[in-house]
Structure 1
């Protein structure tokens, strides 16, 4: 590359980022001004703006342009030990952080051990023999070929049944988003729980504690410890009951016990229980949240909603999925993925944005920002259904990509399909998280047929 072409490329990069930043600055100027002079009401309004997905996207646009890799001594996350915070916003750099597992490590182990009363789960492990053994075991139990033959039909039928009984309106997170994954806990995992309500409550607070309790709220921890004890007791009893039966069955729990009977290492009762705890935590809350937030984004875009409706009515699952996951790009389940620097490291080496990140720094890899980087995404502000699946960073990236991403990819469109097929679909009010990380109420309605 010549000096001229290098300078031209640098200019193109600056124009792309500054163009998005200019639009973001114009949109945020009013809220920031009201926050500065409007007293408590103005500050509350500013907080609401910055807490909304569109406000976050605009803030990230500013950072990508001016401070794409920001390192500070402040501790933005208190739930896990760290000595500072780095925020990484460009697509290439977010991917780099998530791929360099030896330099930027997962941090969940201390809290995971509290939930299991002693043991770790592979989501909290670095690459090694235990990680490889446990992931391999669970992949033998949670099989990719289950998706078309078992998982999708179960999810699709349950969604159709729920919608057939809905009286022209439905509270999406409670009556639809949670109920399909809870149904799969029964029919596919083999762990229905004492009740759907208890399993929903346990998995939600445990997800909150493990991934979203960034300020280390004592109330959240107390509730999580109670839920973890209840879930452990339930799973211990379920494993014992199933082992006493002549046939273990073909669900995930049954397959785990079959592996145990065959002498597979890492499949003691305790290992099975702890691996199931990890899978359950990431399953129900994730799917319910993703379904609700994707639907909300579609409802905000009439043309996209119309496209999703046509795909659902035509039984075009591929096109429907493209609409759902593009919608989720605008408000992903996790807008950041955090790691901790295991040693001094440099990211974006050889570029003007290169940054040294000291050991112990919590690194916030902003996947929401990465999915709007104009250098990696064509027309990122547009809603498009022709984007390649592997470009999205919805379920993480690298070694610790969400174990259930393939189930999520298959099931999420099926949760929404019979609802999106309705004509005249509209929200009766805003999506409400009720002070939690999850949607707790989002009512939509449609005209009677």
Structure 2
């Protein structure tokens, strides 16, 4: 019997497809599906199972493995570079992560806060001085995290249109195989030239510090590629989705505006309900493993239905409801285990600063297009909104 095709279109902007919910709520919580590539994979929908998988060394994160879950038929374009952190298994992963983890500590993030606040303030100044309605994605959601990660890495922000265009092509499900490989090639060549310049003339930025401590330039290239894409696409999409959610809940937004201590729990809930990189926790078994009464054989691909897991009623009370005061951090929006997202502290801080500043400075901000008519990214590997028209009234 052929496994049913995987559904990828959400029931609503934050709820997983009905099929994902059915798999999660089945007796085992695990079922086989056929991916768009034609590959048959185990789909895992319960939070406890996914967290168990992500801490079990019998599951590999190596995207080069021929059986790693794939949505496209072509060989992954990432093979044009050395494996990055998200592709490494122990024992290679530990030293590679240790070399860079100090760049993302809570203390170092706190040191970035004044500059991020300045960046957000300047973009809101420009927003207020511009036309109405305007696209918040282009005015705020995308440029803020792009500028932050560029400054952190030491990438010239003047080149942001180049890397945003190529990263968007890479993350779109509609990009052709040739287009995807060309996007990777473009970004790789750009970063290789940048790293060569930093090798010749060291700078006090993340990439410069990696080179100064003796990291191989090709390894720094792979790290830069990962951080540059992950550091702006994900946070940009969460800013846009979060703004829509809060504007659609004026009572809760007013409470958040009056008490900024509510912002971080609200961010945690937004991360949970949207789970924008919903398949990022997928793996391939390298030994036979039994989970939920299902035997997964060595070589079997395993697709993590992370959005379904983050709506798991056995883990979250009234899981389908958006409760901005929930504050639960046991979700897997940032992954879990050794591959948990390096930049999660930075992402939380950027979201906090943007939401607090935006709604304080523009209290009359409102959607210029109904939320259900917005162009959501059902065609992308990272969920979000293509455009977010907003407007506001001048203060009386």
TM range (shorter): 0.7 to 0.9
The answer for the alignment partner of 1:231 in structure 2 is 187
* Change in 2 beyond 3 A, CA 1:234/1:404: same
Tell me the SS of whatever aligns to 1:440.
Answer: coil
* Counterpart Cα distance in 2 of 1:381 and 1:233: 44
Unaligned 5+ segments in structure 1 are 1-46, 261-266, 349-353
The answer for the alignment partner of 2:47 in structure 1 is 91
The answer for the alignment partner of 1:201 in structure 2 is 165
The answer for the alignment partner of 1:319 in structure 2 is 262
**Contact 1:88–1:364 at 8 Å: present in 2 too?**
yes
* Counterpart Cα distance in 1 of 2:117 and 2:101: 23
* Change in 2 beyond 3 A, CA 1:186/1:56: closer
**Contact 1:338–1:364 at 8 Å: present in 2 too?**
yes
Structure having the higher helix fraction is 1
The answer for the alignment partner of 2:97 in structure 1 is 135
1:124 and 2:70 aligned? no
* Counterpart Cα distance in 1 of 2:9 and 2:304: 21
Please give the residue correspondences for 1:106-117 in structure 2 after superposition, counting only pairs within 5 Å.
106-109=61-64, 114-115=77-78, 117=80
Please give the residue correspondences for 1:19-58 in structure 2 after superposition, counting only pairs within 5 Å.
50-53=10-13, 56=16
Larger Rg: 1
Offset, 1:55: 5.0
The answer for the alignment partner of 1:29 in structure 2 is none
* Counterpart Cα distance in 2 of 1:435 and 1:56: 12
* Change in 2 beyond 3 A, CA 1:185/1:127: same
Provide the aligned length of Structure 1 versus Structure 2.
Answer: 370
1:331 and 2:274 aligned? yes
* Change in 2 beyond 3 A, CA 1:362/1:58: same
The answer for the alignment partner of 2:147 in structure 1 is 183
Structure number with the bigger relative contact order (C-alpha 8 A, sep ≥ 6) is 2
* Counterpart Cα distance in 2 of 1:434 and 1:386: 27
Please give the residue correspondences for 1:264-283 in structure 2 after superposition, counting only pairs within 5 Å.
267-283=215-231
Offset, 1:123: 0.7
The answer for the alignment partner of 2:68 in structure 1 is none
Unaligned 5+ segments in structure 2 are 1-6, 66-73
Tell me the SS of whatever aligns to 2:213.
Answer: helix
TM-score by length of 2: 0.83
Offset, 1:339: 1.7
**Contact 2:368–2:389 at 8 Å: present in 1 too?**
yes
**Contact 1:206–1:227 at 8 Å: present in 2 too?**
yes
Identify the range of structure 1 (160-169 vs 177-186) with the bigger mean alpha-carbon deviation.
160-169
1:301 and 2:245 aligned? no
* Change in 2 beyond 3 A, CA 1:112/1:270: farther
Please give the residue correspondences for 1:39-438 in structure 2 after superposition, counting only pairs within 5 Å.
50-53=10-13, 56=16, 59-72=19-32, 74-78=33-37, 82=39, 84-100=40-56, 102-109=57-64, 114-115=77-78, 117-128=80-91, 130-150=92-112, 152-166=113-127, 167=130, 169-192=133-156, 195-208=159-172, 213=173, 219-245=175-201, 248-260=202-214, 267-311=215-259, 316=260, 318-336=261-279, 337-348=281-292, 354-421=293-360, 422-429=362-369, 430-433=373-376, 436-437=379-380, 438=384
TM-score by length of 1: 0.74
* Counterpart Cα distance in 2 of 1:300 and 1:62: 28
Q: 1:115-165 deviations in whole A, cap 9, x for unaligned?
A: 36241112111111x212211112244454221112x22222111111122
* Counterpart Cα distance in 1 of 2:367 and 2:55: 39
* Counterpart Cα distance in 1 of 2:148 and 2:75: 24
* Counterpart Cα distance in 2 of 1:124 and 1:86: 20
* Change in 2 beyond 3 A, CA 1:135/1:113: farther
* Change in 2 beyond 3 A, CA 1:410/1:385: same
Q: 1:342-379 deviations in whole A, cap 9, x for unaligned?
A: 2332113xxxxx22223333322222222222222233
* Counterpart Cα distance in 1 of 2:249 and 2:8: 21
**Contact 1:204–1:284 at 8 Å: present in 2 too?**
no
